[in-house]
Amino acid sequence: MNGHRTSGHGTGRQARLGLVLATAVLAVACTGPIPDAGPATSSAVTGAVDPSGTAPSGTDPTGAAPSGTAPSGTDPTGAAPSGTAPSGTGTTGAGGPDTGEPGPGATTPTSQSDPSSPGDSAAGLEDVPEVARRGQPSVVTVLVSGGTGSGVVYSEDGLILTNEHVVRGDTAVRIQFADGRLVDGAVTATDPVTDLALVRAERTGLVPATFAEKLPEVGSLAVVIGSPLGFQNTVTAGIVSGLHREIPGSASQGQSLVDLIQTDAPISPGNSGGAVLNGDAEVIGISEAYIPPQQGAVALGFAIPAATAVDIAEQLATSGRATHAFAGLVPARITPDLAARFDLPGTDGVIVAEVATDGPAAVAGLQPGDVITAVDGVPVPTPEDFLAELRPHRPGDVLLLTVFRPGATERTVSLAVTDRPAAG
C-alpha cells in the first residue's frame, strides 16, 4: 500500500481568512521521485496550509499536500529539490538484475565491530571511521521511479525506514544494500505528517540500526550516511548544531519541518531517509532536509529525531497508519501587513486562517481572524511554534489556548484535539 494518508479538510465547507503568505526556501535532500526544477526558489501560497488541521480539498491531514510537500511535484518549501541527478546517475547499481554482486559504486563494509565504542559525549572526528564501519550495513539506497534516496534498516526481516517524500508516488521500489546486493521492495505504509515511510525489502537476515533513546547533546558528533546524488554509502561528519529546530515558513507547507535536529554535517539531495549517527553508531535522526547555499546558508542540515522516527515506525508497522493530534484550524504567520490590516498589537502569535466545519477549533468557538498567542501557557510566536507544541499531543488531549480577537479581550479557550480525519 502507499500509505494510509489522511486529510485534514473534513467533509464540510471551511471558513477561510484569505491570506498570502511567503514561505522559506528549503531544499529537500532527495534526488527525488520528483523531476528537478532547478535551484530552489521562494514561493508564495494563497491562504495557509494546515499542518494542524485543515486545508483545501485534496490535501493531507496537515492541511497541505502530504506533509513535506507544497503543490504537486514540489518539495516541502514549494520548490523541487535542487541537484536532482541527471538521467542515468544517482542510481548506482540499479536497473540490472540482482546478481548479489556489488554494484558499480557500492562499497563493501567489513563486519560489525564489538558493540562497545567510545562514549558519545567523548567522540570526535577520529571516531568517524569506526562509526561509519558499524553504521554502513544498516543504511541502504532507495531507488524510485525518478531518482534515489536513502533508508535505514529497521528490522532484521526487511523493514526499511525512509522519508515519505522519497517514495511518494511509488508502490514498488528497489533497495540496494551496502554490500551491493539489489532487491525489490514494496512501500507498506507512509505518514506524510512526519514525512516517514516503511518499505518491505525482499531480503532477511539484515543488520537493524540501533536508535538512540535520548536526544543528542548540542556539540556532540554527528555522522551522516546516505546516498547523495546516488553516491552510495557516502559518509560526512560534523556536530549537532541545535535541537527543536523549526524551519521558518515551513508551517505553510508541511508539519514535518518542526522539532528537528540541526547539524552542520553535510546533507545533500539523495541523503533523505538516511541515518544521522552519534559516536556510538546509534541513529539520532533521519536525514530530512537542508537549506542550500543559494539561500546564503552554510552547513544547515536537519533530521527527524530518532524518538519520533521510532514512534511513527512502530505505529506504521502495527496498524499501517499513525495518529496525530488534529486541531481543525490553519495557523498563519502574522506579517506586519496583517498586523496593520487587523489592527493587531504586534506580529507575535498565529492568526487563525481557516477553521474546519465541526472540527475541534470550531467546537471550541474559534473563528478565522482569532489570534493564538500561547498553548498551555507556552508562547507560540510563529506557526512553527504552534505546530511544535501540537506535535507531542495525542487525540483526546485538551489544549488551553490563549486567544484574542482584534478589538476584544484576551481569553482562554479549551480545545480537545481529535485524530485526523481519514481521507475520503
The C-alpha atoms of residue 287 and residue 275 are separated, in whole angstroms, by 6
| 90: its cell numbers | 544517482
Provide the β-strand partners of residue 277.
223, 283
Catalytic site includes residue 4: no
- How many CB atoms lie under 10 A from the CB of residue 245? 19
Catalytic site includes residue 393: no
Provide the β-strand partners of residue 290.
27, 301
| Residue of 196, 154, 190 lying closest to 175 (CA atoms) | 154
In contact, 191 and 316? CB cutoff 8 Å: yes
The C-alpha atoms of residue 248 and residue 168 are separated, in whole angstroms, by 24
Catalytic residue among 50, 120, 127, 195: 195
Q: 159: helix, coil or strand?
A: strand
Q: What is the DSSP string of 298-348?
A: SSEEEEEEHHHHHHHHHHHHHHSS---EE--EEEEE--HHHHHHTT-S-S-
Catalytic residue among 191, 272, 287, 385: 272
The C-alpha atoms of residue 84 and residue 77 are separated, in whole angstroms, by 16
The C-alpha atoms of residue 265 and residue 262 are separated, in whole angstroms, by 9
In contact, 373 and 403? CB cutoff 8 Å: yes
Catalytic residue among 60, 165, 220, 227: 165
| 74: its cell numbers | 514540489
Q: Is 280 left (phi over 0), alpha (psi -120 to 50) or beta?
A: alpha
- How many CB atoms lie under 10 A from the CB of residue 119? 12
Q: Which residue has the cell 498570502?
A: 20
DSSP annotation of 76: T
The C-alpha atoms of residue 264 and residue 103 are separated, in whole angstroms, by 30
Catalytic site includes residue 60: no
Annotated catalytic residues are 165, 195, 272
